Chain A
Amino acid sequence: MIMIRIFAVFLLALQFTPISYAAEQKLASELSREFFGLEPKMQQKNVPLKFKAESMKIRYSSDVPLKFSVSYPEDRGEMVRINPLDIISIYAEPGENREINVDLTMSPAWSPRREEYNLYIAGEDGGVVSLNEVSPKSPSFGKTVKAFFSHLLVDEPKLLSSINFFYGYKVLGVSFSKMLGFVALILILSKVLYCYLFKKQKQLFSFLVFASFIFIFIYDARFSLDMIKTTFTDLSEWTSVHEYRQLGPLYKAADYLKMDADLDKKNMNIAMCFDSSDIVHKYLRYDLYPVPVRRASDNWKDATHLVSLATNQLEEEEGMISCGDTEKRHAIVLKTFSKDVSLYRFIE
């Protein structure tokens, strides 16, 4: 059953003047360091768009709040790839014939040559939504130049996978390292050719070193800036709220459990109820060892405590809780942290 009904795509404009407002637009890579909180259950529809544009106006009517997202598909022969970090999102208010403006240049995947976008419209179950009009604005030279510099300022996302590889900076849809590397290569090869053709090889050695350093320093300057920003952001987040990147309030939860473990040393056994990646499980297992920490499905009956992390699996009713398919058990809330993280103690 389709819960969201998108009545019309590109319908004619309604008779009355649309209500236009500036909704805040966010880039996924800038949100990537945040703890994966509980996402409300939403139904989603996808509208492929084909046009060259720097921005687009979306006119819609909806009786529920909406989340508009735009992704930038890359055609790779046999498959289409979408980098989730490049997606931009806008939360829009419900209303009749409302209008939002989406700045497509915000994402580093944007380029003036791009012709394909995917628009996702997500809203609560049962909402009635109509997309009345999507009108693109053609890319201008000025906006492209502005986008070039604003893309350079988009930081490298700090992800759990960053220890394995960096996605790298992207400018106008092209990898910055590739762009800089090719410019360096062309420059160096031209000079090599020149020196060999005109027998001026003595200059070559100095030039090669000098040019390479310039290009390496350009990339490094951008990256060093990122490192400094990350250092201060991480330290200030950790010292002020005792939270850290994608693991958010997990550290506070672990500290609280350690305190409880000191009071009740015997037989502490922790179950975890979570939907996200198992990094949260790895962290608690490490930090609390030798206290056993297992997935709820593995030690539900023996557990003395439960850690619930931003999950839709947890069901709570009259002092009884369950996680997924487990039996219901009596438990009390020990502590609740931000972003849907809670600690329970079983009382039977």
Chain B
Amino acid sequence: MISFILFILSALLLMYEGKLIVLILAGQSFRKCEQYFIGFMLGVFVNALIFFLCIIFRLPINFVVIYITHILIVSALVFVVNKERLWFHFKPYGSLQIFESGGVINRRNILMVLVTVSIVCKLLFSLSHALFVPSYYYDTLSQWNTRAKISYEDRQIAFDLTEVRGHSKPQYPILVHSLQIYFNQPQADWNDHRANASTLLLSISAFAAFVLILARITSPLFSFVCLGLFMMIPLVPLHLSQGYGDIHVIEYLLVGILCTILYIKSKKDYRALIISALLVAASSWVKMDGLILGVIPFIFVFSFYFLYKCRSQDFKQMLHIPVIAFFLSILWPILLLIKGLPLSPHPEDLAIKLHTEAIIPIAEALFSYGSFGIFWFLVPIFIIFQIYEFSKSKSKCDESALVLLFGLIVFVESLVIFIFTPNVQYLLNGQTFSRTMLIPLFIMILSLVLFFYKGSSSKCQEK
């Protein structure tokens, strides 16, 4: 019981800390519950940065250092919030028109029931496998939980290059490890379930934030169905229970993208974009994939949009958003270089060559195997439809087009990684390809949901 209470208190501390950051940066852009869920995600990121500072200043990672630092940050934030309250004058961003039923959505209740049943099945699996059964998968037992446990016992982040103690990839960024250590810190011993529960809590918080913000951008129904679609991707429930970090990269990216859309929709508080930059940068602290498949496309799409849409004066104001995202995401690679460690555990990654043997396994992984169900059959069809509709419409640069562009960049990047570099081996042995392809799939589904919402709401208006 005491262990449970300590877990909850630790979670509340992170959540409150992040909530204060959201409040200071863009409080009026988000509703209260959104502030808490995004707050938890940001609190986890701040925690990773504290661990990063511990590495830099060679401070021991223990309860006193970590929790005192968090408490000091919270105190400082409370002080700033009290001062800031005077500045706030923006009205909360109002919700969009709730989706009116019509056409397919007449079957709204059936749809809701089916989606709910599906989500409950997956949640049951994820909760039970995070909280009751032991860690099981290869990398969980080496690069993730093991590295976190070694660091917890040693009171410093482990940077082993050989697998003698259990982990061998010091390049992995530390957001997940620091989260697991943080929740184990106030307790007497390392607990495997606690470690997995902490990452599940991050996922729940991220998806809650996602659903709430998307419900405002579209409608509660579209938002809920979008969550349902994510949960219907067969690989997802496994990753929620004892993931390899991939799902957290996705979560940070999705909420980051939604914050940008929220700004585009409201055109009011550009400080919401700073939250976006922080979240996207945080994805690169989960895995290096976040830098290559998250931060870089974000900077590209963001710059493209604001160059296209903004006046030069606004653009100057916007310029610091990609700078923040980029600066925060390269801190970890810089530390690796300073420590003399290679940036990738596979130094041969840059040997570019066309691997034709990759084509058939890619098709098999996307269409024949069971990792994605039938999503890769349907998503491309809808994207073609979406592009066709864009080509007909007058405003070609709406938010679903931006998200689609993001998704397509990530998709192409992922294919290039597996077709043109020695990473082809991880496609052929099935190790990473399907996990990586979750990132573009999630983003493309989000883009389609935004697109269909737009289509259905304009239809409703016509009626």
Q: Which residues of A are at the interface with B, using a C-beta cutoff of 8 A?
A: 156, 160-169, 175-178, 180-182, 184-185, 188-189, 205-206, 208-210, 212-213, 215-217, 219-220, 223-224, 227-228, 230-231, 234-235, 238-239, 244-245, 247, 251, 279, 282-283, 285-287, 289-290, 292, 294
Docked complex Cα distance between A216 and B140 (Å): 30
User: Closest residue to B117 on the A side, CB-wise?
Assistant: A224
* Contacts A165-B430, A184-B378, A244-B133 supplied; 7 other A-B pairs, CB < 8 Å: A161-B430, A163-B140, A175-B368, A177-B374, A205-B103, A223-B234, A279-B138
Docked complex Cα distance between A238 and B111 (Å): 35
Q: Is B146 located at the chain interface by the 8 A CB criterion? A: yes
Contacts of A206 in B (CB 8 A): 103-104
State whether A181 touches B165 (Cβ < 8 A): no
Contact pick for A219, options B137, B368, B374, CB 8 Å: B374
Contact pick for A290, options B122, B136, B153, B376, CB 8 Å: B153
Docked complex Cα distance between A245 and B122 (Å): 19
Q: Is B114 located at the chain interface by the 8 A CB criterion? A: yes
User: Closest residue to B363 on the A side, CB-wise?
Assistant: A178
9 A-B pairs with least C-beta separation: A168-B370, A181-B377, A166-B370, A206-B103, A224-B121, A282-B141, A175-B368, A181-B374, A165-B434
Contacts of A213 in B (CB 8 A): 104, 111
A153 smallest CB distance to B (angstroms)? 15
Q: Is B118 located at the chain interface by the 8 A CB criterion? A: yes
State whether B238 touches A220 (Cβ < 8 A): no
Contact pick for A279, options B128, B141, B242, CB 8 Å: B141
Q: Is B365 located at the chain interface by the 8 A CB criterion? A: yes
State whether A163 touches B242 (Cβ < 8 A): yes
Contacts of B133 in A (CB 8 A): 234-235, 238, 244
Contacts of A282 in B (CB 8 A): 138, 141-142, 146, 166
Q: Is B90 located at the chain interface by the 8 A CB criterion? A: no
User: Closest residue to A182 on the B side, CB-wise?
Assistant: B377
State whether A185 touches B142 (Cβ < 8 A): no
Q: Is B305 located at the chain interface by the 8 A CB criterion? A: no
Q: Tell me the dominant secondary structure on chain A's binding face.
A: helix
State whether B136 touches A247 (Cβ < 8 A): yes
State whether A283 touches B385 (Cβ < 8 A): no
Q: Which residues of B are at the interface with A, using a C-beta cutoff of 8 A?
A: 103-104, 107, 111, 114, 117-118, 121-122, 124-125, 128-129, 132-142, 145-146, 149-150, 153, 164-166, 192, 229, 232, 234-235, 237-239, 242-244, 365, 367-378, 381-382, 385, 430-435, 452, 455-456, 459
B103, B133, B374, most chain A CB atoms within 10 A = B374
Contacts of B150 in A (CB 8 A): 289-290
B150 smallest CB distance to A (angstroms)? 6
A111 smallest CB distance to B (angstroms)? 15
Docked complex Cα distance between A230 and B122 (Å): 11
Contacts of B237 in A (CB 8 A): 227
Contacts of B239 in A (CB 8 A): 163
A178-B367, A184-B378, A220-B373 known; A164+B125 contact, CB < 8 A: no
Docked complex Cα distance between A71 and B456 (Å): 51
User: Closest residue to B166 on the A side, CB-wise?
Assistant: A285
A47 smallest CB distance to B (angstroms)? 29
Docked complex Cα distance between A234 and B275 (Å): 40
User: Closest residue to B378 on the A side, CB-wise?
Assistant: A212
Docked complex Cα distance between A178 and B374 (Å): 7
State whether B374 touches A235 (Cβ < 8 A): no
A199 smallest CB distance to B (angstroms)? 15
A259 smallest CB distance to B (angstroms)? 14
A21 smallest CB distance to B (angstroms)? 36
State whether B371 touches A165 (Cβ < 8 A): yes
Contact pick for A209, options B153, B232, B369, B452, CB 8 Å: B452
Contacts of B141 in A (CB 8 A): 279, 282-283, 285-286
State whether A231 touches B104 (Cβ < 8 A): no
Docked complex Cα distance between A279 and B375 (Å): 31
Docked complex Cα distance between A282 and B145 (Å): 11
Contact pick for B368, options A168, A189, A224, A244, CB 8 Å: A168
State whether B121 touches A177 (Cβ < 8 A): no
User: Closest residue to B373 on the A side, CB-wise?
Assistant: A219
A238 smallest CB distance to B (angstroms)? 5
Contacts of B121 in A (CB 8 A): 224, 227-228
A170 smallest CB distance to B (angstroms)? 9
State whether A212 touches B370 (Cβ < 8 A): no
State whether B371 touches A168 (Cβ < 8 A): yes
A166-B234, A168-B369, A208-B385 known; A286+B146 contact, CB < 8 A: yes
A235-B132, A289-B165 known; A166+B378 contact, CB < 8 A: no
A181-B367, A216-B232, A216-B378 known; A286+B135 contact, CB < 8 A: yes
A-B contact pairs, 10 of them (CB 8 A): A166-B370, A177-B369, A208-B381, A210-B104, A227-B124, A228-B121, A231-B124, A235-B133, A245-B136, A286-B145
Contacts of A215 in B (CB 8 A): 374, 378
State whether A223 touches B373 (Cβ < 8 A): yes
State whether A164 touches B431 (Cβ < 8 A): yes
Contacts of A289 in B (CB 8 A): 146, 149-150, 153, 165-166
Contacts of B145 in A (CB 8 A): 286
Contacts of A167 in B (CB 8 A): 369-370
State whether A224 touches B122 (Cβ < 8 A): yes
B372 smallest CB distance to A (angstroms)? 8
B286 smallest CB distance to A (angstroms)? 16
Contacts of B138 in A (CB 8 A): 160, 163, 279, 282
State whether B369 touches A285 (Cβ < 8 A): no
User: Closest residue to A204 on the B side, CB-wise?
Assistant: B385
Contacts of B371 in A (CB 8 A): 165-166, 168
Contacts of B114 in A (CB 8 A): 217
Docked complex Cα distance between A22 and B374 (Å): 39
User: Closest residue to A230 on the B side, CB-wise?
Assistant: B125
User: Closest residue to B139 on the A side, CB-wise?
Assistant: A163
Contacts of B381 in A (CB 8 A): 185, 188-189, 208
User: Closest residue to B146 on the A side, CB-wise?
Assistant: A286
Docked complex Cα distance between A169 and B374 (Å): 12
A227-B237, A282-B138, A289-B165 known; A177+B368 contact, CB < 8 A: yes
Contacts of A177 in B (CB 8 A): 367-370, 372-374, 377
A205-B103, A216-B374, A220-B373 known; A162+B165 contact, CB < 8 A: no
Contacts of A286 in B (CB 8 A): 135, 141-142, 145-146, 149, 166
Docked complex Cα distance between A304 and B288 (Å): 40
Docked complex Cα distance between A223 and B406 (Å): 29
Contacts of B430 in A (CB 8 A): 161, 164-165
Docked complex Cα distance between A234 and B137 (Å): 14
Contacts of A294 in B (CB 8 A): 164
B99 smallest CB distance to A (angstroms)? 12
Docked complex Cα distance between A38 and B306 (Å): 64
Docked complex Cα distance between A28 and B346 (Å): 34
Contacts of B374 in A (CB 8 A): 177, 180-181, 184, 215-216, 219
Contact pick for A178, options B135, B136, B368, B455, CB 8 Å: B368
